[in-house]
Structure formats: C-alpha cells, structure tokens
Chain A
C-alpha cells in the first residue's frame, strides 16, 4: 500500500510527465487556453492512460512475452492506444458535443501523445505488477491534468496582463511552462519513502 502511495505521488509530482519528463507537450500548449477545456482534456487523458496502462500490461505479459515478440512492443501498444482514443472520441461526442468541439484536433492527437505511450513503456521497464501499473497510469495522467489545468489558469490570467507585444501568445506560454517546470523540479528533493514511513 505504501509503495503504491509512493508510485502515485512520484508520478504526479516528481516524475510529472509534462514538467519533468517533457512528454505530451503538444496538448499541454494546445489545449490550455481555458480551464474547462484543459480539465476535459485531462479527464480524457486520465481515462486513456489508466486503461491503456492496464491493457498494454496485459498485452505485454500475456501475448508478447509468451510468444517471444518483445520487439513488437511499440506497435502493439500504439494499436491499443489508438483503439482507446477512438472509443474516448465516440463517448465524448455522445456525452458532451461542446467539449468535443473545444478539444478539436487535440482529441485524436491523444493517439500520438507520447505521454500515453511513455507511461505504457515505463510500466514495463520498471517491472510493475498490474496494480502498480494501474496506479502509475492514473498518477501519470493526474500529473498531466494537474499541470495542464494549472497552466490554463495562469494563461487565463495572462490574457488580462500587460504583456509586451513580442511576448504575447506562444512565447510567453513557453516561458511560463519553463518556469513551472523549474518549480516542479523542486519536488525532486522530497524523500517520499521517508514521508510515508518506509
């Protein structure tokens, strides 16, 4: 239980996918103009990452390893992720067409979001069991959501700030992202194991 907590908080804060591992930057910059869309994107990513983690784990240990097909890992995982994103797309279109409109091109782009493939491959590399895999998947996505929602909040406020013309838009967004990344790197000093009494 304790090491699950460690995996979770490490995934959210220390190894934050966007701010520490620098994966999934594209939706981070693209869908972070408003808090609502950022939250929607975060929820979609949480679902995709959690389910993708579990399914890719099963694919790895029940199909690829017994058949000695380890070299097919990447393509098999991409297959899983692509199918899941399709599913999420259908569900969102049914449940909330407004969110579907707002997410636009970034929804199908979760397919090529390297953070999702990244979490799947990291799970295998770290030799997690299925529970740890699921926790790591949820933690990675929660970290992604935390970063993107915080970032959207900052960007919404930046809209009203007096900003020099040359910095408006993406330049300042990238600088902000860099500063957030530095801030998150500060969590590296945490001794999570000690914190949870391990």
Chain B
C-alpha cells in the first residue's frame, strides 16, 4: 500500500509534467529546415570533428545555411558530398583527391637507437616529457600509440617495429591522429603521392647517422637526382613537392640512407624497391601488397 501510494504519486507528477511539456513543445515548436535532418542522416555520424564543426549535426546546419560547402566532410569523401549536394539541390562538387594520413618516420625500434628505457605511462606526450623521450632522435616517432588511440575509425595499429601502421583503406583523413601526435610526425598527403621522405629530422647529417639508420642526412643527392625538380632541401631535410612528383622512383634508388621510400597502398611501412629497406619493417602482419610497388 505504501509503495502503491509512492508509485502513483510520482507517476502522477510525471504525467502532469509530461502533458505540460507536450503542450509547450507544440506551442514553442521551432520550424527547422528538414534538410538539416536529411544531411545529418547522410553524414558518417562519427562526430570526429574533422570538418571543424562540433559534430555531424553542426556541419549539417552549416551546410544548409550555406556557411560550409557541400563537400566539407573530409571523412565522407565523394560519396557523401554527392548525396549532400543532391539534398541541397546543387551541382555535385568536383572530385577532390582523397587525403590519407601518413607517418613520416621510418625509425622503428630496429633502426633508431634509444637513449634509455622508459618505464611510465604508455603515452607519447608523457614519454616526451621525460627529457625529450627515450628515442635518441628528438624528431622521431615515440611509438606509444597515442595516435592509434586517437583514431576514431580504427585505421591505425602499432606495428611490431614500434611504428604506427595506417590502413589507407580505412583512413578517412579526418586529422585526429595529427592533432594527437606530440611530435607532429603525421601528415595528410594525397593518396596517390606514393614517394615519401620518411623522416622529419632537421638535425645535421652526422647527428642523424648516430641515432637512426634510415634518417635524412640532408646530403642532397635526391635533389640532384630528381628529373622533375620535385625535391627541395629545407633545413637539412628533403621535402617532396607532391604536384611535381610523378613517382618515378629515381630518388628512392639513390637515397643513401633509404629514408625516401615508395609506399604501397596498404601502408607506409611496407617498404619496397629492394635495398636496405626491403624485408625489414614489413610488420603489418596482414595480407596486402607488401612490396608490390616497384619503381618504374
């Protein structure tokens, strides 16, 4: 009896407030654009923030009000852009090349030296605070997988050599890993740009040689080799200009430290083209065209 009274009175209160709110909802109804709902439905719904808006519904309302382009979702790519432009009733946006994240460091555990054994929080930011991190190279990947944890699409995993491996099929180019990496090693590159300098070290050549077998020593041989002048040397580090590079592979052959590689579709570290790199660092542990991209 006691319980019945309690239940009934609370249920009664709830019902009264419910009806009141229902009436208020009708009275204060806000006309919302039905396209917002539709576009939110089309977007991936991961709320990754890659577009710069707080969540997918934020982007949807921005698209409807015209403050964001129909292809503003970097994750959805062309498919989503087409469907959004259909809803908005505008011409589909011209195809943009898909961007994927790449880890610009080849210095795995077998190639880069450590200064000390780090025992602590398994996080790159935390490790980096301990006198610059355990890696002897202060530019290199710390290898604690902070980027892997940040990836909302499960496109990253740690390879056996302590470097993150990116599954380009799953990578949507949202940029979360780039934000997460305290070293700034990860970059977004067009998916067709296969030739990459896997080093971010601005140290002088002699210092690089001491700490890493596959670091860029800034010798400039690649710059001289490249027939398209697509490589420049900036502050002891070779940089490839993607617009000029036609992936001919000549620099890959000539690079004395093998820090320039031709990457396969599956992942950056399934290295290619023979030489020192081949056979080592093939640590994705999955199927995929390991070592398939032979230079022309």
Q: Within residues 55 to 82 of chain A, which ones have a CB less than 8 A from any CB in chain B?
A: 59, 63-64, 67, 69, 72, 75-76, 79-80
Contact B10 A80 (CB under 8 A): no
B28 touches A94 (CB 8 A): yes
Apart from the given pairs A63-B9, A64-B9, A91-B28, 15 other A-B contacts in the complex at a CB distance below 8 Å: A69-B5, A72-B6, A75-B10, A76-B10, A79-B10, A79-B17, A83-B20, A86-B21, A90-B21, A90-B24, A90-B28, A91-B24, A93-B30, A94-B29, A97-B30
- Interface residue A174 (Cβ < 8 Å from any Cβ of B): no
**B33 → A minimal CB distance (Å):** 12
Write the B194-207 contact mask toward A (1 if CB under 8 angstroms, else 0): 00000000000000
Chain A facing B: main interface SS:
helix
Q: Name which residue of chain A comes closest to B13, CB basis.
A: A79
Q: Which residue in chain A gives the minimum CB-CB distance to B20? A: A83
Report B114 CB to chain A, min CB distance, Å. 30
**Chain A residues whose CB sits within 8 angstroms of the CB of B28 once the complex forms:** 90-91, 93-94
For chain B, give the interface size range: 10 to 19
Q: List 29 A-B contacts (CB under 8 A).
A: A59-B13, A63-B9, A64-B9, A67-B5, A69-B5, A69-B6, A72-B9, A72-B10, A75-B10, A76-B9, A76-B10, A76-B13, A79-B13, A79-B17, A80-B13, A83-B17, A83-B20, A83-B21, A86-B21, A86-B24, A87-B20, A90-B24, A90-B25, A91-B24, A91-B28, A93-B28, A93-B30, A94-B28, A94-B29
Contacts of A67 in B (CB 8 A): 5-6, 9
Check A79 against B5 for contact (C-beta < 8 Å).
no
Q: Are B13 and A63 in contact (CB under 8 A)?
A: yes
Give Cα distance in the complex from A93 to B24, angstroms: 12
Q: How far is the CA of A69 from the CA of B11 in the complex (A)?
A: 13
In the complex, A87→B28 CA distance in Å? 9
CA distance A158 to B14 in the complex (A): 45
Q: Which B residues between 22 and 56 are near A, CB-CB below 8 angstroms?
A: 24-25, 28-30
